[in-house]
């Protein structure tokens, strides 16, 4: 039975595993796709910025050549940016050209790699470290590079402090009414700060990842909830199947006991009846002869006890078919208490009976219920020390009548508490171990339930619930 339960539970464990694995794969794929898309966006943005920079370089080359080089050569004969007038004119031409454009720095190098002009005056006259950008510009080729600054972690996560595009392009002479195609006069370096654009891309990527995380997390919890509910359902079904199998085994066991009991009782009761009747005749004869002996009394007493044991076997083994009629639980308890009043008085035990509210009638077999309640009360009476109290509480709700019987004995050992419903299990020297089994059969035949537990601080508590059914 246990193996069946584990086998049925394994598919749900597999479902949980595949659910979690699928979500991890989906989340990883989403992050990877987001990174690829972001890379594409950055690449497109870089290409657009490079194209923009080349157009700006051509425009700047055109303006410098027409508005500075030609007028200065005509007026002064040669270009000398050391002269204040020439520098001021160059500065005015360049600043007016790059006005409203996102340009951070403009440097113009001569063919000796010396900065002839810069928006930063401190750089004028200094050499630029020779690199591929400058060399290619001297060879009449324009290049653009993406430059990022920041620590290792910032560069790894794609959130640098600054992101700039550095463009090197040749400064060339122009021919009238034609494209720029003259000789290389120098090299222009343009630096564009595109940190804001890349910051927007990073925020977009972060938004995508956050949204995907939220969606995947929500999906995971929904699937986890569905799987958990399915697991609960399968567990309940497995438990129900276990209970049914236990009931089936118990029924088969009881059936075997019933068949055995029927055969044994048939074989025993006939000679037992002869022994009992013979003992009764012998007892009468001894009485007439006025001779006293305890042997006959012992034979008669033990034959009666043996007959009761056989009766317990039959009551436990045969199916319970109660004769349902309207009956009062309160009246049955009163009859039980009246029957055992003498025994309670001998032990000086008090019955504290509490009836809470009006107790409705139920459909039940009075004789069977009387037998069940009497068995429980006798057990409580035997377990309760002298001069103690047995509590009896009777109440009702909309669907059931509830009966509680609680003694002040030593209670039941936890190990024995697990075995109290096992047939033939008893802690009494003269018990058969069938009393509580008979009680449970009676209560369950009335579609009720019984629960036995240890009371606090001491004693045993029996709770019985019987359904209220209209006559």
pLDDT value for 431: 60
Choice between 27 and 364, residue whose per-residue pLDDT is larger: 364
- The answer to whether residue 84 is domain-embedded is no
For residue 184, pLDDT over 60 is answered with yes
pLDDT value for 463: 92
- The answer to whether residue 104 is domain-embedded is no
CA dihedral 441, 445, 446, 447 (to 10 degrees): 100
The CB density around residue 419, as the number of other CB atoms within 10 Å, is: 13
Which helix (H) or strand (E) covers residue 458, if one does? none
C-beta of residue 119 within 8 angstroms of C-beta of residue 99: no
What is the distance between the alpha carbons of residues 280 and 275, in angstroms, rounded to a whole number?
A: 9
> What is the sign of the dihedral through the CA atoms of 433, 438, 443 and 445?
positive
| Number of domains, the chain | 1
C-beta of residue 118 within 8 angstroms of C-beta of residue 110: no
- The answer to whether residue 333 is domain-embedded is yes
| CA-closest candidate to residue 192, choices 103, 65, 107 | 103
- The answer to whether residue 240 is domain-embedded is no
DSSP secondary structure code for residue 126 in this structure: P
Which helix (H) or strand (E) covers residue 397, if one does? none
* Rounded percentage of the chain residues whose pLDDT exceeds 70: 81
Distance linking the first and last C-alpha atoms of the chain:
40
pLDDT tens-digit series, residues 87-111: 888 888 888 888 777 788 888 888 8
Q: What is the mean pLDDT of residues 463-467?
A: 91
For residue 122, pLDDT over 60 is answered with yes
pLDDT tens-digit series, residues 143-172: 888 777 766 666 565 566 677 888 888 888
What is the distance between the alpha carbons of residues 144 and 349, in angstroms, rounded to a whole number?
A: 105
Q: What is the mean pLDDT of residues 117-140?
A: 80
- DSSP per residue, 343-370: HHHHTT-EEEEEE-S----EEE-HHHHH
What is the distance between the alpha carbons of residues 447 and 440, in angstroms, rounded to a whole number?
A: 11
**Least reliable range by pLDDT among 26-35, 53-62, 401-410:** 26-35
pLDDT tens-digit series, residues 69-82: 888 888 887 777 77
pLDDT value for 74: 83
Specify the length of the chain in residues: 471
What is the distance between the alpha carbons of residues 454 and 457, in angstroms, rounded to a whole number?
A: 9
| CA-closest candidate to residue 409, choices 374, 469, 460, 357 | 460
Which helix (H) or strand (E) covers residue 79, if one does? none
For residue 372, pLDDT over 70 is answered with yes
Choice between 304 and 241, residue whose per-residue pLDDT is larger: 241
Considering the chain, what is the average pLDDT of its residues? 78
For residue 5, pLDDT over 70 is answered with no
pLDDT tens-digit series, residues 291-321: 666 777 777 777 777 776 666 666 665 656 7
DSSP secondary structure code for residue 386 in this structure: T
User: What value does the CA radius of gyration of the chain take, rounded to a whole number of Å?
Assistant: 52
Helices (H), 149-294: 152-157, 195-288
**Highest mean predicted confidence (pLDDT) among 18-27, 266-275, 438-447:** 438-447
For residue 231, pLDDT over 70 is answered with yes
pLDDT value for 4: 42
pLDDT value for 82: 77
C-alpha separations of 239 from 172, 225, 253 in Å: 90, 21, 20
Choice between 286 and 404, residue whose per-residue pLDDT is larger: 404
Q: What is the mean pLDDT of residues 250-269?
A: 69
Q: What is the mean pLDDT of residues 401-430?
A: 76
What is the distance between the alpha carbons of residues 402 and 399, in angstroms, rounded to a whole number?
A: 10
What is the distance between the alpha carbons of residues 414 and 194, in angstroms, rounded to a whole number?
A: 77
Q: What is the mean pLDDT of residues 279-290?
A: 75
- 130-134: Cβ within 8 A, 24+ apart: 133/166, 133/168, 133/189, 134/109, 134/168, 134/187, 134/189
For residue 353, pLDDT over 80 is answered with yes
Give the 3-state secondary structure of residue 319.
coil
Tell me which residue range forms the domain holding 329.
322-467
For residue 440, pLDDT over 80 is answered with yes
**Least reliable range by pLDDT among 90-94, 127-131, 236-240:** 127-131
What is the distance between the alpha carbons of residues 97 and 58, in angstroms, rounded to a whole number?
A: 11
C-beta of residue 295 within 8 angstroms of C-beta of residue 279: no
| CATH number of the domain bearing residue 361 | 3.30.565.10
For residue 1, pLDDT over 60 is answered with no
Question: Quick one: pLDDT band at residue 6, thresholds 50, 70, 90?
Answer: very low
- The answer to whether residue 399 is domain-embedded is yes
* Rounded percentage of the chain residues whose pLDDT exceeds 90: 3
- The answer to whether residue 146 is domain-embedded is no
Which helix (H) or strand (E) covers residue 465, if one does? strand 460-467
pLDDT value for 152: 64
What is the distance between the alpha carbons of residues 238 and 232, in angstroms, rounded to a whole number?
A: 10
C-alpha separations of 253 from 62, 64, 260, 337 in Å: 108, 110, 10, 34
- The answer to whether residue 363 is domain-embedded is yes
């Amino acid at each position: 039975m246990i193996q069946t339960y584990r086998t049925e539970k394994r598919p749900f464990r597999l479902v949980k595993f595949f659910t979690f694995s699928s979500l991890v794969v989906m989340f990883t794929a989403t992050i990877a796709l987001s990174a690829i898309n972001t890379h594409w966006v950055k690449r497109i943005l870089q290409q657009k910025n490079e194209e923009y920079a080349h157009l700006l370089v051509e425009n700047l080359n055109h303006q410098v050549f027409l508005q500075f080089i030609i007028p200065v050569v005509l007026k002064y004969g040669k270009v000398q940016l050391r002269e204040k007038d020439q520098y001021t004119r160059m500065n005015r031409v360049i600043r007016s050209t790059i006005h409203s454009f996102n340009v951070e720095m403009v440097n113009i190098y001569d063919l000796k790699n010396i900065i002839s002009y810069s928006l930063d005056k401190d750089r004028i006259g200094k050499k630029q470290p020779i690199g591929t950008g400058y060399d290619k510009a001297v060879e009449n080729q324009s290049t653009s590079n993406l430059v990022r600054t920041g620590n290792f972690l910032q560069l790894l996560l794609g959130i640098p402090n600054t992101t700039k595009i550095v463009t090197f392009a040749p400064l060339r002479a122009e021919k009238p009414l034609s494209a720029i195609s003259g000789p290389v006069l120098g090299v222009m370096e343009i630096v564009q700060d595109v940190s804001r654009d890349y910051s927007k891309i990073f925020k977009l990527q972060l938004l995508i990842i956050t949204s995907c995380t939220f969606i995947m997390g929500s999906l995971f919890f929904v699937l986890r909830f569905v799987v958990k509910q399915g697991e609960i359902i399968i567990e309940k079904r497995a438990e129900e199947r276990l209970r049914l199998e236990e009931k089936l085994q118990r029924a088969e066991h009881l059936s075997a006991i019933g068949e055995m009991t029927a055969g044994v009782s048939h074989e025993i009761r006939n000679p037992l009846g002869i022994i009992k009747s013979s003992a009764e005749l012998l007892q009468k004869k001894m009485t007439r002869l006025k001779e006293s002996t305890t042997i006959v009394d012992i034979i008669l007493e033990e034959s009666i006890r043996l007959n009761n044991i056989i009766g317990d076997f039959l009551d436990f083994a045969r199916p319970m078919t109660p004769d349902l009629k309207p009956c009062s639980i309160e009246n049955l308890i009163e009859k039980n208490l009246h029957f055992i009043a003498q025994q309670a008085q001998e032990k000086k035990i008090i019955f504290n009976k509490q009836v809470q509210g009006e107790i409705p009638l139920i459909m039940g077999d009075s004789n069977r219920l009387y037998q069940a309640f009497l068995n429980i009360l006798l057990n409580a009476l035997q377990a309760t020390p002298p001069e103690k109290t047995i509590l009896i509480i009777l109440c009702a709700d909309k669907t059931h009548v509830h009966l509680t019987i609680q003694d002040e004995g030593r209670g039941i050992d936890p190990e024995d508490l697990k075995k109290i419903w096992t047939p033939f299990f008893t802690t009494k020297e003269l018990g058969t171990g069938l009393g509580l089994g008979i009680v449970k059969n009676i209560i369950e035949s009335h579609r009720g339930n019984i629960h036995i537990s240890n009371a606090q601080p001491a004693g045993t508590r029996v709770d019985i619930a019987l359904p209220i059914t209209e006559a």
